[in-house]
Amino acid sequence: MSEITDLTAQLETYKKNLRRRRGQLAAFLFCILTAVAVWRLTQGDWPIPPSRVFSLLSLFLGEAERASAEAIVVRAVRLPRLLAAFGAGAFLSVAGVVLQGLLLNPLAEPYTLGIAAGAAFGGALGLTAGSFFVMPSAFAGALVALWAVQTIASRAGGGRVHLVLAGVIVSASLSAGVTFLKAIAGERLHAIVLWLMGSFAGASPVSAFLAWCAAIPVALSSWLLGRQLDAVSLGEDRGSLLGVDERRLRTSLLCMVSLGVGATVGSFGIIGFVGLVVPHLLRIVIGPSHRALLFFAFWGGGCLMALADGVAQNLGELPVGVITALFGGPFFCWLLLSRVRG
């Protein structure tokens, strides 16, 4: 009886500490988001005081004020770029949580499963014909890559391991295809290379809208299915024992992630490591529960991407994919080594 009492007390202590950590993380992310938003909207080639920025963002701004140079800079340039970066980062981070939970693989993310490579190949192919074809080609490439991965995996056995291996094969093949397109691109080579590096420099209200259209449906649907993701992540076929249709869950979420990857890659190019680093870091802080992970991944990934975009812009408009790779790679190595030693 005393052992049960001790276990109950330990469980209550764990829950209390977990709630406290989640509250602290929420407050931290709110502060980071506020600071990054103020920085991105006020600073640049034309510094604008925060009070003036807030007034320019008012819904009741007059026509004369809307036509002013300051209003155009804030409302048509800086705000769409901030929203685009946040939306893309939120989606990539949420997609990483979903894929890692579905596949039971800590390295799973859109850029390691072949989906992003398909979107990149499709977008690069469309870019050779003109910028208008980039988005539909990226969508098509992501869906074709997903179909190829699932077809190869199903014929190899249909397990999670087969899905990951099929993703590696498809990703390598399509990456070679992108290299081939660059080799024959001619005068379009420069545009393809810059697009593939990933950047929010040309973000518009439409691209910001697309980024949020990718992030919100995936985040909301996966949050509603969070309990099923918890069951599936327990191990191979464990979800089936708990009444979860794993195949249906996997197919539906993979399709949604693929569509979101097509929108993100088609709009902003390849931006890696966000969907890999953020979920791992959050699991250390708040535990493995998917509903909490998805909520914090949405805000954490968005804050990280907006911050990385600000750093990229202040370093001479570098591609943001370069910034996330430079900082994400060493950070992930440190994280992995510290976990192994611990």
Task: CATH number of the domain at 18, please.
Answer: 1.10.3470.10
Note the pLDDT tens digit of each residue in 274-286: 888 899 889 888 8
Mean pLDDT of the chain: 86
CA atoms 242, 247, 248, 252: torsion sign: positive
**What mean pLDDT comes out for the span 22-38?**
94
Which residue type is seen at 272? Answer: G
**What mean pLDDT comes out for the span 67-82?**
90
Per-residue pLDDT, 69: 86
Which residue type is seen at 299? Answer: W
Per-residue pLDDT, 306: 95
**What mean pLDDT comes out for the span 59-84?**
87
In this structure, of 9-23, 129-143, 270-284, 324-338, the range with the lowest mean pLDDT score is: 324-338
Per-residue pLDDT, 336: 66
Per-residue pLDDT, 148: 92
pLDDT at 28 over 90: yes
Which residue type is seen at 297? Answer: A
pLDDT at 60 over 60: yes
pLDDT greater at residue 253 or residue 233 = 253
> What CA–CA distance (Å, rounded) separates 164 from 50?
47
Residue 146 lies in domain = 2-341
Note the pLDDT tens digit of each residue in 172-207: 999 999 999 888 887 888 888 888 888 898 888 999
Which class for 162: exposed (0-12), middle (13-18), buried (19 or more C-beta within 10 A)? middle
Note the pLDDT tens digit of each residue in 300-323: 999 999 999 999 999 888 889 888
Per-residue pLDDT, 273: 84
CA 266 to chain centroid, in Å, comes to: 14
339 pLDDT band, cuts 50/70/90, is low
Number of domains in the chain: 1
- b/e string for 12-25 if b means 16 or more Cβ within 10 A? eeeeeeeeeebeeb
In this structure, of 77-81, 149-153, 230-234, the range with the lowest mean pLDDT score is: 230-234
